Structure 1
């Protein structure tokens, strides 16, 4: 019996695709759900709800009963479990909107399986009921499902006296392996009202979900006989099963390996295993919110092993606990690696003022490290928010991140948060570690047309995404959460209008429910319904497939294959893309042709190349780029409301543009900085890969306010498309419009093109034309195939140049163009019988010659993926040494090239070590250079002294 036979398996949702291809998954997995919009009157489901009584005593359980009615003409199946289908979108107390406590959540067999197992057949006109109970935590539970970003729990507090209004809707997502007879669509949102009375002299006055005394909903069973029937090799004394009484979440210790293994190095240490199991019970509390950073949700799909070892307890000078990766390089380069956690369960933390000792909080800290190692995203550079100089204690970014995660856990369990790490005061946000370490991102944040992707230069692209976060054509980023219909952009033969409606139950944020356009004289509209996006051309419902639909005046519409997203082009090559944002709304991205510069107006700006003058009212008055609330909404926003006679929308009888105008909405501005759930929302967004501004703050607002996982995935996709690709006009009649992802084996591909395609038959190949200009080196990066490792299912080759290149997940394959005057093709081929999807990003090498200040400090920044800074050395230099100085990112590497011989003299070495070299330069007649680049195709800064 092997000591490695002790394994912990986290049983959760089906394996999800890697988050780095969220741009695909958000559309394919989320856009198939309905949304509250214009045309829900004919939705096949409707919702009614009531409270079990009008008034509750404080501390009494609030019970809500919802009835989902089959409003269609045929029998269909309705979910009888609230998780994933009954969505609470807002709760108010005495007229004030509340915000939920949020956290990732996992279910014992996955939320999708739970939902599919609780379907009930309902005849036309009949109902199925769903109950909602505030439970011991005095909070109403709502769980949203997302194929891309996992399940997200929102706990809406109903603990204090007052008059409550709960807004909810029913929407069953389209799940994997879903039966065809599930009732489709979404209900209209409804409101349920009740009151909680103030029982003087009773109750703690604190939110019950912050009370540490949680009900003991978990039992620990010694299940030797049960487990041994499935794995006889497991020692009977070494079998422990931790079960949650609730059917919604559990952590199971079992012998069969899952995607991740958590293994004890000493199977005989039952005390360590029991202590670990107790901490896991806390992490996997009844609602799953005890894991605020979503560590277990993420590790559940990691292929890497984590070893738990006991750190011997010392009465004096205890070491405590620590985590180390198996491979430091893979812990930072996106590949990921396993790790070992040495944990002393008897050690309750180093004394910190005002901090409650807790060994599980310490374990959670180390598990966060293990999570970062498994994803390959740990950052060992010093946090500049705590950096007081080389002679003072330091704190790395990864330790600050783990400490902030630990604090989120501590707050959830009612423990005092730690205020320092290594004696250094913790920053409020991980962003503070970077603000002094590298420049803030520029104000221009290009958003690419096409939730599917698109090419946007620094200017020329605008968009309205999420709870509308707007980016103008010149790069100004701002929020306009108003309600009504607005002119996004107008020009000759081109106009785009948006319909913004309040997010159900909210008084502060809205979403786009419809988008209408003038495409060179053709009126086109996109409307969210209960079952996807409805397209109308000249008021007629129109079915659009991947075959581009030619419009009468020369424009075109194409539907992105396998996605609920549409690409629209004008004859002058201007383009727009509309994509579903889960059940909630639409995302819009617009790219204007260069000829329209200085010839556009609207809430997306004037396209004159200057972001500082983008906020111009309809009458031509220019506003400051950071106006106050009233000026932005009452003056600027109101001026661009759609007027009578100019609307491009279709309306049901009795409606017009004024139907959707709510003059006093929003009631106040909302920002990431003033949200109570900011810290947890930030962890959730970062775990989904959203790390760049302004997308991170946008994601924090969307998630903290709504509690919906769709917005996490949606913002991850928005961030991903912001660094992707070129877009070509749609050619009517072709099945593969030039949007990205490039599909059908066409192209052409450019620098930054993101491709998503599929091999459907054995021995099949996909070929893509390359248009890389005078580039001689390019890379295939961010590879994802049908496995999570390295295999030989698909090969990636430059036709006529290379063969037998087999990529690894998230790996990089380098190619050299032999002759830039020729055109080449890239081929993705099935090596034998493999079929399935694949995706990648094409990145070109971008050498940039820089001055060579020998003997002086050199600072620089790799600003784009593939950039290489070339420092040519002076003639006659016989050796070169690179000495690190402060301000160097871990992903930067240095090489020494012989330019005359076109060869690499010294291969890639981490630049952030103490010293590289000396490297001998043998031939005084040759030209040599030091080249700085990221072999992982990342961005960052570097600093060194060249001597």
Structure 2
């Protein structure tokens, strides 16, 4: 311990001298080498002593380690590449962690059903590529690709995102190179991901736990994509977690995050779709079905609402070729995945009838589906006839726990950010004779 204290004092003096005489760049490189050695477990100079040290507040060594590649990770795998067909990632204004507060969840799961960041629930079975989240500073974007199932249902077959300066895509169908083992793509190249987090070039990280992929952004957001297969249909249940300090700074199918669920169905660049449920309340459906146990057709008002929802609201959030963050198989583009005539029919719980609602509800309850996702589960099981949706829906509320287990806290600092924090911590504490405090 005495040896460590002497070493620490020696380092502080060196820091002070370096800052005082203007060789901070050299100091920065030295600390970076030491921190990198610590992260990778290599015997860098001072690594053993630093491993025992109490790092200044705000710098969690375990978090840095978890976000860093292991010794066997080929960091070239995530080096950005440029191809003529690659989308251009718009540079973010900042990739620094400035967010704070609790993480708030928005999600797209099942057929798919949405819960916005403000808590608005709705169902949207269109086919194509759509923007879920688009941040004002361009540091964080999430897009989903909906693929058709039968004539009126769809699933999240892929999800793509911008994590600061990196483009990340996950594919359950339509794999860019035709290889179904290449689920994860980063900056146009396939990447093998396991339980050890792999660091992305501009500070993010990605890892896999069970069937759940977790992507961590250095600006504080997290994305989970749970890959599931039901009746040979592979898809993702997607959850997006945004710090509460970022209210009023996002837009998309997951809402504007302003605290008011009534204005979440906002047409891009225009007004707000009137408040109304798009898949119905199961209690109301059962009550209405009590008068007639058979399916109930849509009313004229309901048809008008769905037409507005799909044609005005939904279409406004379709991704253009210039906006797309997805990777594509040879000869295919954004347009290849669009079907403007889908769905054939607009669906609500009222259309199931009492018997099918009760049967689907029993299946969902046996799978222990939480109350806040029960209606979506009944919808999926009832219309598809696939009980597997109950199993996958039951997992939805566990995604935040999985994300926090892999990436604790709001964000994980890069090596450069860690160096900045070390220098910032010691800068005001070092005072030298004839030089003063710097």
CA change 1:498–1:522 in 2 (3 A) is: same
Task: Give the 3-state SS of the residue equivalent to 1:721 in structure 2.
Answer: helix
Q: Distance in 2 between matches of 1:466 and 1:533?
A: 23
Q: Distance in 2 between matches of 1:533 and 1:614?
A: 35
Match of 1:462 among 102, 106, 109: 106
Q: Distance in 1 between matches of 2:307 and 2:194?
A: 43
Aligned residues: 270
Deviation at 1:673, TM superposition (A): 2.6
* Structure 1 runs not aligned, ≥5 long: 1-455, 731-735, 740-947
Q: Distance in 1 between matches of 2:142 and 2:115?
A: 14
Q: Distance in 2 between matches of 1:725 and 1:569?
A: 13
Match of 1:717 among 395, 399, 403: 395
Deviation at 1:476, TM superposition (A): 0.3
Q: Distance in 1 between matches of 2:240 and 2:120?
A: 14
Q: Distance in 2 between matches of 1:665 and 1:674?
A: 18
Task: Give the 3-state SS of the residue equivalent to 2:251 in structure 1.
Answer: coil
CA change 1:538–1:635 in 2 (3 A) is: same
Q: Deviations over 1:291-343 (max 9, x none)?
A: xxxxxxxxxxxxxxxxxxxxxxxxxxxxxxxxxxxxxxxxxxxxxxxxxxxxx
CA change 1:726–1:511 in 2 (3 A) is: closer
Asked if 1 retains the 8 angstrom alpha-carbon contact of 2:194 and 2:207, the reply is yes
Q: Distance in 2 between matches of 1:569 and 1:462?
A: 15
Kindly indicate whether residue 396 of structure 2 is the aligned counterpart of residue 737 of structure 1: no
Q: Distance in 2 between matches of 1:531 and 1:522?
A: 22
Q: Deviations over 1:132-178 (max 9, x none)?
A: xxxxxxxxxxxxxxxxxxxxxxxxxxxxxxxxxxxxxxxxxxxxxxx
Alignment-derived partner of residue 312 in structure 2: 635
CA change 1:674–1:490 in 2 (3 A) is: same
Q: Distance in 1 between matches of 2:316 and 2:274?
A: 16
Match of 2:383 among 705, 722, 744: 705
Alignment-derived partner of residue 825 in structure 1: none
Task: Give the 3-state SS of the residue equivalent to 1:648 in structure 2.
Answer: coil
Q: Distance in 2 between matches of 1:536 and 1:584?
A: 17
Q: Deviations over 1:673-722 (max 9, x none)?
A: 321422211111122223614x222111111222223201011222x438
Task: Give the 3-state SS of the residue equivalent to 2:394 in structure 1.
Answer: helix
Deviation at 1:632, TM superposition (A): 0.6
CA change 1:474–1:726 in 2 (3 A) is: farther
Match of 1:612 among 255, 262, 274: 262
Task: Give the 3-state SS of the residue equivalent to 1:566 in structure 2.
Answer: strand
Match of 1:496 among 130, 136, 142: 142
**Map 1:628-777 → 2, pairs under 5 A:** 628-676=305-353, 677-690=356-369, 692-693=371-372, 695-718=373-396, 720-721=397-398, 725=401, 728=404, 736-738=406-408
Q: Which has the larger radius of gyration?
A: 1
Asked if 1 retains the 8 angstrom alpha-carbon contact of 2:224 and 2:403, the reply is no
Greater per-residue strand proportion: 1
Deviation at 1:727, TM superposition (A): 5.5
Task: Give the 3-state SS of the residue equivalent to 1:460 in structure 2.
Answer: strand
CA change 1:727–1:581 in 2 (3 A) is: closer
Deviation at 1:620, TM superposition (A): 3.2
Q: Distance in 2 between matches of 1:541 and 1:568?
A: 15
Deviation at 1:531, TM superposition (A): 5.1
Q: Distance in 1 between matches of 2:116 and 2:264?
A: 7
Kindly indicate whether residue 210 of structure 2 is the aligned counterpart of residue 597 of structure 1: no
CA change 1:541–1:691 in 2 (3 A) is: closer
Alignment-derived partner of residue 523 in structure 1: 167
* Structure 2 runs not aligned, ≥5 long: 1-100, 174-178, 279-304, 410-438
**Map 1:281-300 → 2, pairs under 5 A:** none
CA change 1:675–1:532 in 2 (3 A) is: farther
Q: Distance in 1 between matches of 2:182 and 2:384?
A: 22
CA change 1:726–1:566 in 2 (3 A) is: closer
Task: Give the 3-state SS of the residue equivalent to 2:365 in structure 1.
Answer: helix
Q: Distance in 2 between matches of 1:477 and 1:550?
A: 34
**Map 1:777-816 → 2, pairs under 5 A:** none
Asked if 1 retains the 8 angstrom alpha-carbon contact of 2:128 and 2:318, the reply is yes
Deviation at 1:461, TM superposition (A): 1.3
**Map 1:49-448 → 2, pairs under 5 A:** none
Asked if 2 retains the 8 angstrom alpha-carbon contact of 1:508 and 1:666, the reply is yes
**Map 1:38-57 → 2, pairs under 5 A:** none
Asked if 2 retains the 8 angstrom alpha-carbon contact of 1:488 and 1:497, the reply is yes
Q: Distance in 1 between matches of 2:338 and 2:329?
A: 16
Asked if 2 retains the 8 angstrom alpha-carbon contact of 1:581 and 1:711, the reply is no
Task: Give the 3-state SS of the residue equivalent to 2:275 in structure 1.
Answer: coil
Q: Distance in 1 between matches of 2:398 and 2:261?
A: 21
Q: Distance in 2 between matches of 1:717 and 1:673?
A: 26
Q: Deviations over 1:56-75 (max 9, x none)?
A: xxxxxxxxxxxxxxxxxxxx
Deviation at 1:596, TM superposition (A): 1.9
Asked if 2 retains the 8 angstrom alpha-carbon contact of 1:460 and 1:607, the reply is no
Asked if 2 retains the 8 angstrom alpha-carbon contact of 1:572 and 1:593, the reply is no
Greater per-residue helix proportion: 2
Q: Deviations over 1:233-291 (max 9, x none)?
A: xxxxxxxxxxxxxxxxxxxxxxxxxxxxxxxxxxxxxxxxxxxxxxxxxxxxxxxxxxx
Larger RCO, structures 1/2 (Cα 8 Å, 6+ apart) = 2
CA change 1:531–1:659 in 2 (3 A) is: closer
Asked if 2 retains the 8 angstrom alpha-carbon contact of 1:533 and 1:564, the reply is no
Deviation at 1:668, TM superposition (A): 2.1
Q: Deviations over 1:443-480 (max 9, x none)?
A: xxxxxxxxxxxxx96x8210100111001010101001
Match of 1:483 among 127, 141, 144: 127
CA change 1:510–1:738 in 2 (3 A) is: same
Task: Give the 3-state SS of the residue equivalent to 1:612 in structure 2.
Answer: helix
Deviation at 1:521, TM superposition (A): 1.2
CA change 1:559–1:591 in 2 (3 A) is: same
Q: Deviations over 1:110-133 (max 9, x none)?
A: xxxxxxxxxxxxxxxxxxxxxxxx
Alignment-derived partner of residue 198 in structure 2: 549
Alignment-derived partner of residue 539 in structure 1: 188
Q: Distance in 1 between matches of 2:191 and 2:168?
A: 10
Alignment-derived partner of residue 472 in structure 1: 116
Deviation at 1:502, TM superposition (A): 0.7
Q: Deviations over 1:558-588 (max 9, x none)?
A: 111xx12211111121111011122431110
Q: Distance in 2 between matches of 1:542 and 1:600?
A: 28
CA change 1:597–1:533 in 2 (3 A) is: farther
Kindly indicate whether residue 215 of structure 2 is the aligned counterpart of residue 568 of structure 1: yes
Deviation at 1:670, TM superposition (A): 1.4
Q: Distance in 1 between matches of 2:142 and 2:312?
A: 20
Asked if 1 retains the 8 angstrom alpha-carbon contact of 2:363 and 2:387, the reply is no
Alignment TM-score, normalising by the size of structure 1: 0.28
Task: Give the 3-state SS of the residue equivalent to 1:704 in structure 2.
Answer: helix
**Map 1:1-40 → 2, pairs under 5 A:** none
